Chains A and B, each alone.
Chain A
Amino acid sequence: MSDTSQGTGGLAFDSKKRSWPNELNIFFALIIIVVIFEILGQTLPYMNDQSFLFDTRDRFDTIFNEARLRIIILQVSIIGIIALGVTQVIITAGIDLSSGPLVGATAMIVMSFAQTELVNGNLNPNPVLGTWAFDLPVLIPVIVGLAFGAFIGAINGSLIAYTRIPPFIATLGMFLICRGIAQAWTRGKPVSFPTEGYAALGKGMMPVFWFLALAILCHVLLRYTLYGKHTYAIGSNEDAARMSGINVQRHKVLVYMIASMLAAFAAVILSSKNLTAQSGMGIFYELYAIAMAVIGGVSLTGGRGSIVGTVLGAMVFGVIQSGFTYIKLDAFYQLMAMGGIIISAVVLDKMRQERALLRS
């Protein structure tokens, strides 16, 4: 007990022990999965030496199979935008099941404000709101969509924060309400023929641009702002956050609002990309978004996870989907395999957490 006057009382802190970022694990997992598909492609007898990743038939200037890479990232972009919001909700130890139906409802509403008057010289065959809503500036449907998302998110958040019902129940209720709104809006009829300006929002690779831009924004929010710190603090130890003077209830409302606004924006991009809105849009999106976050290392018990992880999780999701198609696995087996992968991601994360606990 010679140096007890110096604080640590003989306990050694290891300053060199850098914690291994979880995101790196996911990145390696991504690479391994790509390699596995590449090997499968080269060895399976019916594949005729097709490559998963590389441009073996000289169709592109680069060595990579650009078309496949594009499709992979394009097909995860829209659900990825939802996953950015779901990540924040899960970090507060909550869950948001309403994002998929919210996409459907928002798409229907937004598209009604984005219709054009003349389709190939003929009058728009199925206007929803009357002639005043034709050819509005593109900003109006986007603002309507975000406002609707914020409204639904505020209800979700207020229910969870002030009535203290479990997030699962509150957002499950909202799940059904939103699906109902989507169907009631036009009695189930699709809404089509957007203005050119609106159609440009989701054209080509635009969804990828939005996904990456919003990912950077959310990353900055979570990592560098008070909002992000309090989000992690609430998920980590809600009582401690409250005792430290954080307004936990108000913060939760804000988190759910941001998540729903991201889902609403995803609806804008999706309806713009498809040039139509249908009440059935966004089916399973809430679950896929949660899956992306979970594969990306966001802990369902709250407090842990990052936007970088979720983006990587989205990429893993996209690569697996694309890979299954590439090795010509039937769609129903794809669903089963996807389910298995999500479960193993959570199990692996749990094991990793318990190992870390044993070490300390």
Chain B
Amino acid sequence: MSDIILQTEGLTKHYGGVHALNDADFTLKKGEHVAIMGDNGAGKSTFVRQITGVEQRTSGKITFDGNEVHFSGPIDAREAGIETVFQTLALADDLDVPDNLFLGREKTKLNWLGPFRFLDYKAMRRETIEGLERTGVKIPNIRNTIANMSGGQRQCVAIARTATFASKLTIMDEPTAALGVQETAQVENIIRTLKEQGEPLILVSHNMRQVFDLVDRIIVFRRGRIVANLNKEDTDGNDVVSYITGAKTGAEYEGAA
């Protein structure tokens, strides 16, 4: 039990009459990288939103790091150790790299000054550089504002947040969807670095090559249900596609969808 970082049992989410997610049972071991695949509207993002506390689940149980959790919002989840790289980047364009990494959890001095307490820029810069080194992200001038960076560099900054704060689980929702070839390679390298360091990861992706390159296990969603749980070694692209399109359904999920 102790090597399981995240477990969901019967996770369900209904939007009114729409059953966006039904009875999702999912386990993630420590150090494991898992991909979530599926067609648009299959329930991938809904699943992620329940885990990260962006939305409140209709029913089901989430166990994170040994404890049953009820996150009231994404900030709760982040404090528990779940870092999410959102599809829409949550970065403030006019701020620089350390400012963005530490947004909402700034290091401060003279704390008795309340909202007017002073920022500890030095400590934040130092920890930013440490975090960037850990992820292998190279940004020589961290004091550049995000507005002056390319899409890939921004994505790297967003991902570097996870490393800076020693999170227990990283979730990436299509991190390379809007990136070019080189930038995608850059992001994938960071994901490999996380793997080497034993950081567990959930990767939502449409990119078959990327998934087979990076993860250990593939979960397929279809019409709000998990329909396959495949080890990378036991499957191939065509196989996964047939699960996604509904041509096949995993034996243990028979009758699910």
Is the Cβ of A233 less than 8 Å from the Cβ of B103? yes
CA distance A151 to B137 in the complex (A): 48
Within 8 A of B (CB), among A221-239: 221, 224-227, 229-230, 232-233, 235-237, 239
**In the complex, chain A residues whose CB is within 8 Å of the CB of B104:** 241, 244-246
Is the Cβ of A303 less than 8 Å from the Cβ of B92? yes
* CB of A187 closer than 8 Å to a CB of B: no
* CB of B152 closer than 8 Å to a CB of A: yes
* CB of B138 closer than 8 Å to a CB of A: yes
**In the complex, chain A residues whose CB is within 8 Å of the CB of B78:** 245
Within 8 A of A (CB), among B74-111: 74-75, 78, 86, 88-95, 99, 103-106, 108
**In the complex, chain B residues whose CB is within 8 Å of the CB of A1:** 185
**In the complex, chain B residues whose CB is within 8 Å of the CB of A235:** 94
* CB of A4 closer than 8 Å to a CB of B: yes
Is the Cβ of B150 less than 8 Å from the Cβ of A11? yes
Residue pairs across A and B with CB atoms within 8 Å: the count is 128
* CB of B58 closer than 8 Å to a CB of A: no
CA distance A246 to B102 in the complex (A): 11
**In the complex, chain B residues whose CB is within 8 Å of the CB of A230:** 115
CA distance A235 to B182 in the complex (A): 31
Within 8 A of A (CB), among B124-141: 135-141
Known contacts A224-B118, A224-B119: A9-B92 contact under CB 8 Å? no
Please list the residues of chain B having a beta carbon within 8 angstroms of any beta carbon in chain A: 74-75, 78, 86, 88-95, 99, 103-106, 108, 113, 115-119, 135-141, 144-145, 147-150, 152-153, 156, 182-183, 185-186, 189-190
Stretch among A13-21, A136-144, A332-340 lining the B interface: A13-21
**In the complex, chain A residues whose CB is within 8 Å of the CB of B148:** 19, 356, 359-360
CA distance A193 to B210 in the complex (A): 79
Q: Which 3 pairs, one residue from A and one from B, show the smallest C-beta to C-beta distance?
A: A244-B104, A9-B186, A15-B140
**In the complex, chain A residues whose CB is within 8 Å of the CB of B103:** 229, 233, 240-241, 244, 246
CA distance A19 to B190 in the complex (A): 28
Q: A11-B182, A243-B86, A303-B93 are in contact. List 12 more A-B contacts (CB 8 A).
A: A9-B189, A11-B150, A11-B153, A14-B141, A221-B116, A226-B119, A232-B92, A232-B94, A232-B99, A233-B103, A237-B92, A239-B90
Within 8 A of B (CB), among A320-360: 356-357, 359-360
Interface string of A13-42 (1 = CB under 8 A from B): 111010100000000000000000000000
Q: How far is the CB of B112 from chain A (nearest CB, A)?
A: 13
* Chain B CB within 10 A, most for which of A224, A243, A359: A243
Is the Cβ of B182 less than 8 Å from the Cβ of A7? no
* CB of A8 closer than 8 Å to a CB of B: yes
**In the complex, chain B residues whose CB is within 8 Å of the CB of A241:** 92, 103-104
Is the Cβ of B115 less than 8 Å from the Cβ of A226? yes
Q: Determine the residue in chain B with the shortest Cβ distance to A301.
A: B94
CA distance A47 to B91 in the complex (A): 55
* CB of A122 closer than 8 Å to a CB of B: no
Q: How far is the CB of B214 from chain A (nearest CB, A)?
A: 14
Q: Determine the residue in chain A with the shortest Cβ distance to B152.
A: A11
* CB of A120 closer than 8 Å to a CB of B: no
Is the Cβ of A360 less than 8 Å from the Cβ of B150? yes
CA distance A230 to B115 in the complex (A): 10
CA distance A239 to B93 in the complex (A): 12
* CB of A6 closer than 8 Å to a CB of B: yes
Is the Cβ of A13 less than 8 Å from the Cβ of B94? no
Is the Cβ of B116 less than 8 Å from the Cβ of A236? no
Q: How far is the CB of B114 from chain A (nearest CB, A)?
A: 9
Q: Determine the residue in chain A with the shortest Cβ distance to B91.
A: A240
Within 8 A of B (CB), among A206-263: 221, 224-227, 229-230, 232-233, 235-237, 239-241, 243-246, 251, 254
Is the Cβ of A236 less than 8 Å from the Cβ of B93? yes
CA distance A246 to B78 in the complex (A): 13
CA distance A233 to B182 in the complex (A): 29
Is the Cβ of A245 less than 8 Å from the Cβ of B105? yes
CA distance A13 to B94 in the complex (A): 18
**In the complex, chain A residues whose CB is within 8 Å of the CB of B183:** 9, 11
Is the Cβ of B116 less than 8 Å from the Cβ of A225? yes
CA distance A236 to B108 in the complex (A): 21
Is the Cβ of A6 less than 8 Å from the Cβ of B136? yes
Known contacts A1-B185, A5-B189, A19-B148: A229-B119 contact under CB 8 Å? yes
CA distance A236 to B92 in the complex (A): 5
Known contacts A5-B136, A11-B152, A356-B147: A240-B116 contact under CB 8 Å? no
CA distance A304 to B115 in the complex (A): 21
Q: Determine the residue in chain A with the shortest Cβ distance to B75.
A: A245
Supply 30 A–B pairs (Cβ within 8 Å), ascending by A.
A4-B185, A5-B136, A9-B186, A10-B182, A11-B153, A11-B186, A13-B141, A13-B153, A15-B141, A17-B141, A17-B144, A19-B148, A224-B119, A225-B115, A226-B108, A226-B116, A229-B103, A230-B115, A232-B95, A233-B99, A236-B95, A237-B91, A239-B90, A240-B90, A241-B104, A246-B104, A303-B93, A356-B147, A357-B147, A360-B149
